[in-house]
Amino acid sequence: MINQEKIALIEDMMEMEEGTITGDTVLADVEEWNSMAKLSLIVLMDEEFSKKLSSNQIKEFKTIQDILDFMA
Amino acid sequence: MVIKIVKIYVAEVEQKITSEMYIKYIANHQLGIVREKLIIDKNKYGKPFFVDFPNVYYNVAHTKGLIVCAISDSCVGIDVERIKPFNKRIVEKYFSENERKYVFVSKDNQDERFAEIWTKKEAYVKWLGKGMDVSFESFDVCHEGVKRMNCFSYGNYYISVFNERLAQLSVSEVINKNI
């Protein structure tokens, strides 16, 4: 899966319009990056990427790129 | 039973307003506190509080289109969520058995029941003020503590408030868009 597809998945998960975020986007600046988004990301990682993501690992994410790197 | 009042301020917003902007506006216009005197700090989990007004507790929540604030003289947590289709895996993974049964009992109004349980859980976690260190699956808002929970629908949104005691809510609508 290329980065653009992964970003589309993240945008869809956070109900954002396509093209709203890039790898450089800082999560603290994203209004939609809330508890629901964080739990949805754990579910997404498990179902789409077969990866176990913990809440401690989420705390380390600073930008969208950090999420993309975890998906890789 | 001690009945206390928690004041809720609800504002429909078209653009992004940060929690800090909103609480400063409310504190200024509703409590008469000069914005410049309002210093906000955060506990180690990120829950904000007024440094110079230790007896005034507040909590802010926002979602697309709406921002809400609860003010009380004891610790308070609030959450708001738009009633919309939800991710069923979140219910299966993070809700208690009682909560799952409550949401899935019928297909009618399922989105509303999800928003109710979700906001109750969020309001409880925010009341605790420990952020994501409290796991969502570790408590049950359909069982214990529910008496201290207030919840109501507001248009297409659901709002829940958790306070240390059963509290009477006073809800005000903030109509000034220039926050």
Residue B167 has pLDDT above 80, yes or no: no
Residue B34 has pLDDT above 90, yes or no: no
**Section A65-72 average pLDDT:** 94
**Section B143-165 average pLDDT:** 84
Q: Which H helix or E strand runs over A13?
A: helix A3-13
Q: What CATH number has the domain spanning A3-71? A: 1.10.1200.10
What pLDDT does B129 receive?
86
What pLDDT does B145 receive?
59
What pLDDT does A63 receive?
97
What pLDDT does B147 receive?
67
Closest alpha carbon to B76 in B179, B160, B147, B152: B160
What pLDDT does B1 receive?
47
**Cβ distance of A36 and B62 shorter than 8 Å:** no
- In Å, what is the CA distance from B53 to each residue of B20, B90, B144? 15, 38, 31
So where are chain A's domains?
Answer: 3-71
What pLDDT does A25 receive?
96
- Six-digit token pair at B121? 């859980």
For A43, the closest of B16, B90, B135 (CB atoms) is: B90
**Section A56-65 average pLDDT:** 94
Mean pLDDT is lowest, of A68-72, B16-20, B88-92, for B16-20
Chain B residues near residue A55 by CB distance under 8 angstroms: 132-133, 135
- In Å, what is the CA distance from B71 to each residue of B49, B80, B163, B174, B177? 11, 15, 10, 14, 20
Asked whether residue B79 is assigned to any structural domain, the reply reads: yes
Asked whether residue B99 is assigned to any structural domain, the reply reads: yes
Asked whether residue B84 is assigned to any structural domain, the reply reads: yes
- Cβ proximity of A30 and A71 under 8 Å: no
A50 touching chain B per CB within 8 A: no
Within 8 A by CB and 6+ apart from B100, the residues are B91, B92
Asked whether residue B15 is assigned to any structural domain, the reply reads: yes
Asked whether residue B50 is assigned to any structural domain, the reply reads: yes
Instruction: Report the gap between the CA of B132 and the closest CA in chain A (Å).
Output: 7
Which residues is B76 bridged to in the sheet?
A: B163
What pLDDT does B82 receive?
94
Chain A residues near residue B90 by CB distance under 8 angstroms: 36, 39-40, 43
- Six-digit token pair at B56? 């005034």
Q: Which residues constitute the domain of residue B58? A: 4-174
Asked whether residue B179 is assigned to any structural domain, the reply reads: no
CB atoms within 10 A of CB B22: 22
CATH number of B73's domain? 3.90.470.20
Chain B residues near residue A15 by CB distance under 8 angstroms: 64
Q: How far is CA B61 from the centre of its chain?
A: 6
Residue B134 has pLDDT above 90, yes or no: no
E-assigned strands of B53-156? 57-63, 66-72, 76-82, 149-154
For B132, the closest of A15, A40, A55 (CB atoms) is: A55
Instruction: Report the gap between the CA of A15 and the closest CA in chain B (Å).
Output: 10
Closest residue in A to B87 (Cα) is A40
Provide the number of structural domains found in chain B.
Answer: 1
For A38, the closest of B89, B132, B133 (CB atoms) is: B132
Reported as a single tens digit per residue, the pLDDT across A8-42 is 999 999 989 899 999 999 999 898 898 899 999 99
**Cβ distance of A35 and B90 shorter than 8 Å:** no
A1 touching chain B per CB within 8 A: no
Chain B residues near residue A32 by CB distance under 8 angstroms: 64
A35 touching chain B per CB within 8 A: yes
